[in-house]
Structure 1
Amino acid sequence: MAVYTHVPAEVLDALLTRYAVGTLVSAKGIAEGVENSNYLVETTKGRFILTLYEKRVAAADLPFFMALLDHLSAAGCPVPRAIPARDGTQIQTVAGRPACLIEFLSGVSPTTPTAAQAGAAGAALARMHLALADFTGARPNSLGIAGWHQLAANCGDALDRIAPGLGGRVADELAWLDAHWPAALPQSVIHADLFPDNVLMLGDAVTGVIDFYFACTEVRAWDLAVAHAAWCFDPGGTRFDPALSAAMIGGYEAALPLSDAERAALPALARGACLRFLLTRAWDWLNTPADALVTRKDPLAFLNRLDAYAGGGLL
């Protein structure tokens, strides 16, 4: 979450008249994240999240995301649905951007996850995968291998401004992944971004899974690999925690066992996860506007993870 687009109070007031959610009490921009503009909105009837979709989220994809969240919610998964306006529409236009008013879910994202929390997150991910077995929507993964090549090309020589030799390291990893990517594994719609800050918890219980705006049709086990890379290292990616790893994979498999092929592919999938976040973070590092209320994230934290997975022995 982040704030790129300012929404005046009078615009919020006018928006809320379209809903049966009460009148505006307060609104505060949320600085975490890098994708969309988000506000915590409090009304006389409760709390909500207002999301304005910025450049990386295509307006044409929003109906897919809304249908996905409605499907998961109906299956009992703790996800925030977009609230329909009085006329039934979920997607609005606010300050020139597509926007949704979204349910507020209780809970706090863990900053230093415990093994119990990692296990609960793995189980929640597996339950979402099971719930999506009969979901008929589909969306191509714009940040798969072809997208990584394009991002690397777009960053170009500027990668070496982030770290000397980074461009060559990225090129070598792209070549390795081209040769080893396990594309024949089972596919489904996946979350594709299950970081700790996209999971809300009360104690060791998952109360919400949020930010589905990278959800796509992809190798299902890649979702677990993304979560593994996000949860099982310290923030800088320099220290791996085997207890978190065992708990996350164990939690997932308690609900949805991995096949032998999926388990064997996890190291390659994890390397792909690291390269994906290295490149998107690098692009944001090089291109985030100086006046945006947003915290840039260090791409080298995922280079460290990538090197750890490439060294073997973690999965």
Structure 2
Amino acid sequence: MVSDIEQQAANAASRYGWQGPYRIEDAAVSGMNNTTRIISCGMDKYVLRLYNNHGDADTVRQEHDMLKALSNEKLAFRIPSPVYNLDGSTITQLPDGKLACLFNYIEGERPSPEKSTHVEALGSACGELSRILSGIKFRAVSGYSPYYDLAETYASMDKASLLGLADSDAGIAERIPKLEYLQKERERALQACMSVAQLPQQWIHGDICFGNALSIGDAISGLLDFEFVTMDCRAMELAVLLVDLLKPELATGSKERLELAARAFQTAVPLTSVERNLLPTLMRLRLLDVALHFAVRYRDGLDGPEVLADIVDNCAFGCEWLAFNPLDF
């Protein structure tokens, strides 16, 4: 029996002008927000993305506009290149309303946060992209809010709603102390959002992490998934990457990896002293945004309880680690 996802992938693939027989395969790694499939046609490979977060074509169009603008820049790594469908669009709408896009395949493997060469290389690539993005000038027409708009973005996931998720699953109920801790961190972070909003602003990728990068050897070969591109404070780009290095399994050597990534980023984009001092606050904002984002996905039936439980564990760990470990940026 063909699953709904496989049927959606088949429907999406049929909307492109293939030059011969093609084959749809599971991706070795698929993101947590969207569904990814690999399509092979002769010697060519492509990446098919089915958007699970939203059905907003304007948001996807903004993502593709950014990729088009960046395609004119000289980058040391590759970025996704959207493929046009039979209707002459890079956005494919499926019968059920879901959106899909096809991209050219980029060679490489996921870099490892445990390899210092990969940490430094991704920090440098993140800084290079940030420097280029600072020169991109077009008006945001849709998309995601900046991280410092946390209160408005997650107004529907207030304290009562967040803690109320524990009523739906025993595993979530076991994490009530962590949910309460994250709520207190949320209230604390909201007090700093006005100061964050005064930092230098520009376009940011918004989700650079090891899962959205590719490497060949010690070098970064590609940066992926520009879905969350938005106008925000520029230092948030670095903060997002740093948070990806704050996980329980990476606890040993975390401080050294964080400072290595930050130094590498700043070879391309030197931050002001105010930005550097606020980096721990920006990292908390990222952690809280991730926790609330997946709380909403769980509430809306997009993820199971085990996904949210893992996210809560990681985000609570990150906030607590920041509280007890001063950093030198």
The alignment's TM-score, normalised by the length of structure 1, stands at 0.86
Partner residue in 2 for 1:76: 74
Secondary structure of the corresponding residue to residue 7 of structure 1: helix
Q: Distance in 2 between matches of 1:314 and 1:288?
A: 38
Distance 1:4 1:216, change over 3 A: farther
Q: Distance in 1 between matches of 2:27 and 2:107?
A: 18
Distance 1:156 1:251, change over 3 A: same
What value does the CA root-mean-square deviation take over the aligned residues? 2.9
Q: 2:120–2:261: 8 Å Cα contact kept in structure 1?
A: yes
Partner residue in 1 for 2:280: 267
Partner residue in 2 for 1:33: 31
| Deviation sequence 1:93-123 (CA, Å, 0-9, x none) | 2353221111110111124431221111111
Distance 1:59 1:217, change over 3 A: same
Secondary structure of the corresponding residue to residue 48 of structure 2: strand
Deviation at 1:64, TM superposition (A): 0.2
The alignment's TM-score, normalised by the length of structure 2, stands at 0.83
Distance 1:8 1:282, change over 3 A: closer
Q: 1:236–1:304: 8 Å Cα contact kept in structure 2?
A: no
Q: Distance in 2 between matches of 1:22 and 1:82?
A: 20
Report the number of matched residues.
Answer: 309
For residues 163-312 of structure 1, what are the structure 2 equivalents within 5 Å?
Answer: 163-181=175-193, 182-231=196-245, 233-234=246-247, 236=249, 238-239=251-252, 241-284=254-297, 288=301, 297-312=310-325
AA in 1 matched with 2:165:
A
Q: Distance in 2 between matches of 1:79 and 1:109?
A: 14
Q: 2:24–2:37: 8 Å Cα contact kept in structure 1?
A: no
For residues 126-165 of structure 1, what are the structure 2 equivalents within 5 Å?
Answer: 126-135=127-136, 136-138=138-140, 139-141=143-145, 144-146=149-151, 147-153=153-159, 154-159=161-166, 161-165=173-177
Which segment is superposed worse, 127-136 or 256-265?
A: 127-136
Partner residue in 1 for 2:102: 101
Q: 2:297–2:303: 8 Å Cα contact kept in structure 1?
A: no
Q: 2:9–2:50: 8 Å Cα contact kept in structure 1?
A: no
Which segment is superposed worse, 21-30 or 253-262?
A: 21-30
Partner residue in 1 for 2:45: 47
Deviation at 1:145, TM superposition (A): 1.2
Which segment is superposed worse, 153-162 or 109-118?
A: 153-162
Deviation at 1:131, TM superposition (A): 1.3
